[in-house]
Structure 1
Amino acid sequence: MCSCVRSSRALSPALLPRLLRPQTGVMLADRSLKTSSQCLAVGGDSALSPLPSQARVVICGGGIVGTSVAYHLAKLGWTDVVLLEQGRLGAGTTRLCAGIVSMAKPISIECQMANYSISLYQQLEEETGIKTGYVKTGSVCLAQNQDRFISLKRLASRLRVLGINCNIIKPKEVAKLHPLVNIHDLVGALHLPSDAVVSSPDVNHALAVAAAGQGVQILERTSVQQVVVEKGHVMAVETDRGSIECEYFVNCAGQWAYELGQASEVKVSVPLHGCEHFYLLTKPLQEQLSPNAPVVIDMDGRLYARPWQGGLLSGGFEKNPKPIFTEGRNQLEIQNMQEDWDHFEPMLSALLRRMPSLESAEIHQLVNCPESFTPDMRCLMGETPGVSGYYVLAGMNSSGLAFAGGAGKYLAEWMTYGYPT
């Protein structure tokens, strides 16, 4: 296979300087918002690069999953790769990600994907010179009952087999690691020292720059309308700017992946659905929380918390989530969804039970962002059974940042070798 071509021509004239200039702007949850340089709009159609007439691979989706696939394909020597983004890079769920990368996952393959992601995000700073916001905080997974404690012990056994450092600890040790945690009802906990937090838009930015440096052509403001299939094989991709002939298509469209699969004449089933996901940001606490304080994962309380700018970021997973986009495909690349304090109240109550000292904390913002979920809570990865050359990587179940690095690597290997290593 040919070696990768390094060329700045892989980026549009407007996108290249925007990706390479220093980052500025308002920060939320350690990540850039609309005023950040990497979220600025490409200025008009005249600034867009011409659409190529053909490519070997077309990737749909400029979030962290799509850029990870592009990056890893380039690393494996694929030179004719085009990534299409309907709006701006990382302007969907990636922009609002909570930034937690934890290996506390229920099955071994997910633990491995998260483990690789942590290593990748750390070394991306050296590779690209772009700060990814990587902080090695570690995490503590809490157990409120014996059943959960047994589950955490089993998880610890799986992690150790994979060579991942972890420890079963007592409640008193939890209090030493995190000063805000109420330990009165805890049986024990699992401590993972290598878990981390990062800035997801900055990781996405770094992956895009690294991929473009290896020859991947990245085109914003280009919407995929359908995939052309002939005799069971991918033949081309039709966009709002024209068609691209290709051998392979990768659906990394996130919350739009289902609708994209249904948009073609030969329909592809991508079983996922978008839901609202809430997390709370506090202003700096009176005794500011260290940025190195561990992430807290309270599975029985259905919540998580991490340090954020001297305060706390905390979200959770309610029993009855609110579905979104029930009336069809949502066309916005950035969703400014409404806060819902009534819906968030059970999670807020759980947070205050776990961290009572937050009663006096000042609220900065309640963030409502879209997340994609699958029926079995496992991400969708691989070649579709009905169409040769049509691959899917979507449905991350609110673990997109943790999985993106490893999942992108596995899918790229799948496409290259026929199986992930």
Structure 2
Amino acid sequence: MRTAARGATLIVLGALVAPAPLTAFAYEPREPDRHHTPSIAPSAAPSTAPTATPSKLPSIVPSPSSPPSGEPGTAWSWEELSRQVQDTSPDDLQAADTATQAAAMLRCFKLETENYCLGLGFVDQIPTGAQLQETMSEPDVEADDESGVEQDIATGDLTPQSFVAERAGLPRSQRVDVELSEMEAAWAGREKARALRLLEVPAEGDAAADADPESGAAAGTPTPTPTVQPPRTPPTAQPPTTAPKPPPVRVVKPPKSSYIMKGFQTSQEKGYWCGPATFQSIDWADDKQKDTQASWGKDLGTTSSGTGIYAMVKQTNLKTNWDQAAGTYIVQSVKNWNAQKFFTVHQNHLGDGQPAPIIEHTQLLKRYFPYLAFNHSGHYQVGRGYDRAKGTIAIFEVFNERRFNSRGNVTDGPKNIPASALFNATLANPFQNIGL
């Protein structure tokens, strides 16, 4: 539920400090894209919001090259993107085979300089047909030869197969509305996606990891400057002879460790309610009101097949103020990341001046989460902190294995997971994405 707005914020990535060799731009508070309420449509104020006439980024020039045959061209406005979504959404697909449905439901678009695929989120590279079919394959749940571990209990994320089947089963008009809603959020978050794509993390031992003692920026790493409008010239004043310099970027220096949301852990009440339980925790920490998991299940569109990650992101933008701190939440693929970038992004998101939770989207396997007694399915968790010295990411685990299996362990509550393990658990999920 919305509380009072926390103030205008702007996303900028700043430099990461050195004890650990992780160097990156950190998020800086930014002007919110829009002020959400459950019953009010998004306003058309900021230029980055997906309105009927969103403005173009002044620093981007469309490419004159033609798109490959069969692919939509680059969208430089919301009107173009909206038209592309509608023009490429197919007619009735209920009788089509799975491969055809997947190709149609996981369509990709070019949002200025960024690629976004329905269901998958922002991607560095548009997947090939073979890669899309690989996404539709069942994940490997082998337990590294551990005897007695194999018990794949569904914990509640929506699998790619279920996502595709649900979208393909909708009447075209309804499906187009859902797709436009997803792409509207993507359009609003394209600047964040661009910043994440351009984030460079030096390898361990790289000289660029040494921090500049004055600025806190990594040596050899250019400091980004925001695109700003020049100040208005008073009517009686002469125009300036030189263009005004933009204000310097305030570098946000994440601390060595940071934790948020203490005391707001929850435990899912049904086997397929990891989405509602995770969102219950996120919203409870935001407005200090603990709404029921059943109510969130309804808002998230949760079924016995689970909850989709876009629904988690949408409700975070709509029903909480976390997007005021971190900017519009987006679905972001980590497929082409490495563990170092994954950890750096967590530090930037959770350790800047206005930290905000991350929607972790993992495959709940014992090899990555040793507190488990069994393997489970795709899953949501709350990313809530990190410790750079220990190389760990703090989460709220919402799944209590004992609750659903008398032979299981008590597994819910705060956990500290090696960053590499959480990254690999994210890659093990067929979607390979997170919400932030």
More strand by share: 1
Report if TM-score (shorter chain) is over 0.5: no
- Structure 2 length-normalised TM: 0.28
